[in-house]
Structure 1
Amino acid sequence: MRRPREPDALPATLSLVFCGYLLLALGAIWLSRQPGSIATLWYANAFAVALLWDQPLRRWAPLLGAAMLANLLANLAFGDPLPLAASFIPPNLLEIVLACALLRVSGAALRMNESPGAFLQFICFGALLPPLVGASLGASILAWQGLDSFERGWLFWVEGAMLGAVSVLPLAVWLRQRSWWELFGERRRHELVLYGVMVLLGGPFALLLLPFPFVYLSLPLMIAAVRLNFASTALLVALASVSGGLIIALGLLGSSLPDQGWRDLLIYLPLLLALLPALLLASAVEQLRKRRRELTASETRFRDAMDHSAIGMALVGLDGRWQRVNRALCEMLGYREEELSVLGFQDVTHPDDLAGDLELVREILAGRRHSYRLEKRYLHKSGREIWGLLAVSLVRDHEGEPLYFISQIEDIDRRKRAEEREAELARRYSVATEASGVGVWEWDLASDRLLWDDGMCRLYGLPAGDAELSYGDWLAHLHPDDIARVEREVQAAREGSGRLDIEFRIRRADGEVRVIKGHARLIRDLAGKPLRLVGTNWDVSELRQLAERLREERERLQVTLDAIGDGVITTDLDGRVSFLNPVAERLSGWRSDEARGLPIEQVLLLEGEDGRLVPNPVRHCLEQGSSATLQGLASLRHPAGGSIALRGQAAPMRGCDGALLGSVLVLTDVSEARAMQKHLRYAATHDALTGLLNRPAFEDALADSCRDVLQNGGHSVLCFIDLDRFKEVNDSAGHAAGDELLRQLARLMHAQVRAGDQLARLGGDEFALILRSCPLQQAELLAARLIAQIQGQVLAWDGQEFRVGASVGIACIHSGNAHPTELLKQADTACYRAKHAGRGQFAVEHR
């Protein structure tokens, strides 16, 4: 639903309401005064309603005042007395206000094109009900003044006002919410022009000459309603209303009605009934198009969501065959899309899980459930089993008949394998607990009696068999350094917490010291009084020794990682950072505690030579379970600015059972080496004195230009530039002055050529220039300009001024002359001719 647009400036709206209403009222009153005229066509009220309904309420009074002033002036212009002219104001004012209020409160104008029912509501509130009320007041005033009977006046008023509102209001309201450009932008505007001509020319012809003329009048409107948009149809309806209404109002239409009075009273009704169905049909077609667009958009969104979904999705036919599958499902099962399209879901389901899946499918088809979720095993193309979480729902048509299934298959194989490993670990833990010699004890607080089982006796080095000891006997076994702490924790458990979790050392009967872990719980009576402590003990000496060794190993590893010159980053299975050593912190700009838990791509912004982000090797390592190298010349974008050239390799980290635990990425800063490589590459291809291309690089560029001409056609130009009188500068001022002059001339020539051209110093005072895709005439102009610029260059050195000249030889590069060696000879020959012709010139070698 469209919102009302922002209101225009009040003075402009007042002028538009006054002028438009005045012109429409003058036209209608003039028509009603013509000989043979039957009744007036009243479009003015519909025009005012279209401009007023969405205006702020504070503007209604001035706008209504402008419209009623125009109404009064229009009647006075045709000689009506002031009382008679003023008597038309109340019914017109009532009709406008009622229509605006109904449209505003109901929102029918905003919902006009949502459905045919909404359009009928709009017509009813804007074009039917207000004229009925306004006509009642107007006909009463006419009858009271003795100008006409109430019945005739009421019918004339209703027909004229309804026809005007039905003809004008839909188009005017549509334009108020949109713009004329949308109407003119109709993609079938040639059809709009055709139907407009048919309405304007064919309508009068049908009304004047054909039987049943309103059938012919409505036919192009109905076709236009199907072919064009709503606004175009509304425009054609308005044109048909004006042309047909004028013919009827002027009394030119014949009728077969026997009663002349009824003909006069009901003459506009056929025209109104001919126009209204076209508008209704246009509204229905507009809504149909909108729903079709929404359906197309919805289908597009569904296809996009399916194609880009991270989990497997499929459309499955009632026969169980895959109708459409997405990329994620193909990757999960290892099949190509065309391979899955010839299979059914039964073909890739594990045989042990197929029966339960089919039973759930039958329940959906029978209507006993709408969807189901199931963890099941699938068969990968390689033959291995894959666990998937399947979610299935059935799509039915509007009659409830089943069409196809929508299946979502999430790869939970890693989770299921982890659960299986956890279950196996739990089973092993249970067996280990039984075999670990855990001892159970009970301490009766009232009698101070301790009861130990055989496990406790073995832990303390006592003979097997139930032992009955006291709290003091137990304390005698404790290591002296732990007694005070243990007694505090035991007392705290008795008096407060009710739970004991303690670790302590004991001296066995053979003198060996062991580390014991103990858990206990306080048992109270119904009054809350402590009765006894029940708990367990087990030997954790080996665990403590192992923990100490692991701690020492971790410290050594930490020292090693802190000391090496490479950056080291570890991640978990999801690619989230778990550790950065100091070098990695310096390279990335992240502290280890800040980066922990963040995706590796967020911590390391890797980019290639073109500035685009490159894949992080950690992802490939985790996905493939093998080592991965940072490809190409990659750099790390530092958060503080700048970049660091890197070489890196990611390797998988695995547990003792070979399961992938994460990855470790080693980064080496190669910024200095890469900068040196760039410097060496530049030095190998550029002249050290001038910074221009050197001779080998120029010869390669000339060969590239020849290949380009041979492959793609076109013309390029080679220029050989030899300085005149340069030896005099070296002889007079020395080589330092000559070198400075060469640098100045190199900068001068480089400033004159285009960005794609290639300028080089071949050696000594010889230069060469390749003008790519350059006509010969333009090359000659450039050569003349270079000669003039060089001759105008002055070198001031040790109080003297030096000038040199230049001679240029030109050779054309085209498909018939594209050999680099021959081109250089041609350009050199042309330069030789230019020198012998007097220097300071150019010559062209035509081949």
Structure 2
Amino acid sequence: MAGCRPASPNTGPAVSRAGIEPMMIESESVPQPLSALADSALDPALAAAHIQTWDWELDSSRMRWSGDDGTRPAPPHYQAFLSRIHPADRQRVVDEIESVLAGDSATLHVEYRSLPETGTPRCYLLAGSLIRDRQGRVERMAGLRQDITEYHDAIARLRRSEQRHSEAEALVHMGSWELDIRTGMAAWSEEEYRLLGYTPGRVSASYQKFLDAVHPEDRAAVVLEIERALQGDVKLYRVEHRVRLDGGGERHVLQQGRVGFDADGRPARLIGTTLDITDRVLAEKALQDSHAQWDHIMDFFQDAVYVVDLDDRIVRANRAFYELTGLTPETALGRSIMEIMHPHGEPVPCPVCRARQAREDTLVTMEADHPDNPVGRPIEIMVRMIRGTDAKVGAILMALRDLTRTRETEDELRRLNAHIRVLMESAGEGIYGVNREGQCTFINNAALRMLGLEREQVIGHPIQDLIHCTGGDAQPASASESLVFSVMTSGRGERADGELLRRSDGECFPVEYSAYPTTESDRVTGAVVVFRDVTEARELNRRMDYLATHDALTGLVNRHAFEQRLRMALDSSHRHGNEHVLCYLDLDQFKVVNDTCGHVAGDELLRQLSTLLHDRIRHTDMLGRLGGDEFGVLLENCQVEEALRIAQELARTVQEFRFIWENKSFTLGVSIGVAGIDRSTRDVGSALAQADAACYMAKEAGRNRIHLYQRDDVEMVQRHGEMQWVARLQEALAEDHFCLRYQLIEPAGGGNGALHCEMLVCLCNRGAEMIPPGAFLPAAERYNLMPAIDRWVVGAVLDWLQASPGELSRLALCSINLSGTSLSDEDFHGFLIRRIRESGLPADKLCFEITETAAVTNLSAAIRLIRELKKLGCRFALDDFGSGMSSFGYLKELPVDYLKIDGAFVKDILSDPVDRAMVTAIRDIGHVMGIGTIAEFVESDAIREVLQEIGVDYVQGYGIARPRLLPAPGEPLSPA
């Protein structure tokens, strides 16, 4: 069964459903085989749950089973059991069993499909453990087997149900939607997207996007109805409105919604449907108009319309009839039509009179000089019988149309067709048409120009064989492969992006093209094709792909591409035992060039040096730029001795390099860390960490050196710098030596009574000294201790808030910092969400701060965590914003609520106009995007006044309030 997949060792749908948990069993505790359970009181329960027990004696290979699988007797031995497993699953089951026997896994947990003698395969969950004798030797394996076929069938039915629901919505043109009022997050069905005029997935569902789609004239009424529902005035609101469409048209929809309230009676969400009622509205409007139209049709119809009874007497006529004949209602009604149209009689009955007398529907055209034409202009006379419910003729409807304008219209149509031909010929896209046989019926100049053909080479010829290719070999594409013939079969227009057309010189070029069927009288007569040459667009895409994997400054591969290649090399080590070497290069004295000559000079230095370094490595190696002045070299299939030689060559190249800028000469050095990659290297992160640690040791040893990573480097690092903190921080985590301080944040214009504070972690020294975070956080980040510290901080803050209900009510927002390593830690994500939910605290009072560098470095993880927490109601701030200015490009992706302006721009704002301009720019960006701004390092009232003048929302710093020790639970926070 396609739905059967191997279950996780600890979790899985069948385990959680049936309650099966494998266990280790010793023979002392189980004197009888496990299959003896079949005769116990558990037998009915096991049978009801489709569970069998089994026992496998390893020496004899004999197997015993409780009951059977419902189709045939249980397999008597291990090989018989394996023979009944589906071939696609058999090796996986064997691998899992052998893993338990080898001691690699404590328990057996595997799903597989059976091979029944008849019928379809069934799906089973097999669980078991080893049973040992008194001496600890493995005697046998025993466990349980559960039939989980119905579970997988239920999953398949659920998926089919969801598909039918989506198709049903599309069939009735009704979409569904949901809006979380507190977070602004919205969800639309695919049909909802289409009804609002959007392509599914092209825009993010939101309340604002919904309002954008509503017709401006209807928007106020829609908002009013929603507000009434939010206020509880109505339980179910219904409002009809129009939706604007891209083409300038509009759609009428019926919007229905219901408000869901939380336990406190506050609106929590809106849920509802959108029904396309365009046809109904148009029908109602047509019906309303028809009454008025039928009231006036006779008077305002331009044709002369009149009704005669079976005696040819006029019973009704319109104004055009009276104007044509010069009569009035008084002189015409009840009078014979023969007297009016043929006052002098008719020697030979005219065609109209003959049809009327024969009670036949007809249409007669008379030119101006026809002897029976009473008006002297080209006319068309219609005769229609009016029949009752019994199909008998009760009256005759006649209409006389002046064809003068029709003839003028035909002339105009001919001129319009000529104009269309001109437009088609002037179009930039290629256009051609084919008949049912694929022969070209017309083609414009743009198409001929792109194809390099003459019109006579194409018209009347099978164009499929002439210009369509299957690939770069320029072989003709068959009709079965062509979109042109496909649309003529389906009767629906389609698009293709990867088609190739052939020029007259035989060269193929890529096109995007659309094909649409042409019809006459509901019969497909051919197709029209519109195409454009996308050679330049493809080249642009190729260039964009290049830029996505290469550093724009140096042309080297970027960090992402380098790590991808490193991952492939690591995989080859794990699979085939290949050995590689990773070098981590960090330039020495590069900052001197930047500080002395500026970033332009620094960029030029990096470009020149990148070229030199690239020339010194083997053609099979990869050089990448990993950061500002940091590079990585991956030496594949390389021994350490050879790698050290290459590293020495790279170091010598950097040392001999002389950078000249504006008559200044600079020399640099490079610290290189070398780390071998083999089967023992765990992952990419470990490889980079080892090379980085070796580079760090090279710098610690005096810079401009090469250091080979060794396992005993830990002892050396402990004697040099940050590693000294590791044991101390681990001890602090184990013995709870951390403490919290808080620093208040105020509105720039002054306090408003509500508390807004940031929680800060400190290390409590044994002598009661407070060690600030700047002293130990770098070490914690370097050695991956930040997730543990962040867990402590989150837990401590939430515990304090839970124990301080009075302060919680006063508190508007409590900010908690998260590190970059925690952002990329999926376990931390789960802990954070679970801890917030368990606390029961109002999540909208929690704000998590992440630095600009951490957000940009871990962009996908940051976006994922922010969205998950925002669903709970939490808010987010981007800390140290502007420090690199790279985050401006990511703001649209990061749904943050606050920007904390880097204090480097704030502290000198009184004297540095550039800093003031930077703060103003950040404030403007924030306000345009609806994001609040917070200025750090506000150390005086003068700085606060300038920030208030600029329009910054909030301020924080020693000039507002110094950090204070968090009081005991329940005690109040002190104001600034």
Both structures adopt the same fold (TM-score exceeding 0.5): no
Highest RCO, 1 vs 2 (Cα 8 Å, sep ≥ 6): 1
Compare the two structures and name the one with the higher strand fraction.
2
Larger radius of gyration: 1
TM-score interval for Structure 1 and Structure 2 normalised by the shorter chain: 0.3 to 0.5
Would you tell me which structure has more helix in proportion to its own residues?
Answer: 1
